[in-house]
Copies of this chain bind each other. A is one copy, B any other.
């Protein structure tokens, strides 16, 4: 359905809800974190290890932002040394469910995109 039901928001306004959310999803690590937490709560280093490639600095930044947005929760256990568990909130859960629709689109149409790229690149090669 492409029946343009354009929202009454200004897409150029940084305060536009769509932009707000998309700016968050634009961070690739954020999505990986949310995806990881779908399996249940995880501790910091455990989460870090499960997402290969992310630096500790960036991970803590991302976690802080997601917590601030209410998408994940952070619970500290006063053990020695301290341990911290991160978990998906219900709000975060609905978001990941929605993102999955996009993931599904990707799986369905990635082949078409790759085909288009091949065609494009080929047309450039003979130019």
Interface residues of A (CB under 8 A from B): 1-2, 4-7, 9, 11-12, 17-23, 25-28, 31-32, 35, 38-39, 51-53, 67-71, 88, 91, 93-103, 105-107, 109-110, 112-113, 115-117, 119-121
13 chain-A/chain-B pairs, Cβ below 8 angstroms: A7-B103, A11-B35, A12-B32, A12-B52, A17-B103, A18-B102, A21-B106, A25-B26, A26-B26, A67-B120, A70-B116, A95-B109, A98-B101
Query: What number of copies of this chain does the assembly contain?
Result: 2
Task: Pick the 6 closest A-B CB pairs, nearest first.
Answer: A70-B116, A26-B26, A17-B106, A21-B106, A17-B110, A18-B103
Q: How far is the CB of A98 from chain B (nearest CB, A)?
A: 4
Q: How far is the CB of A35 from chain B (nearest CB, A)?
A: 6
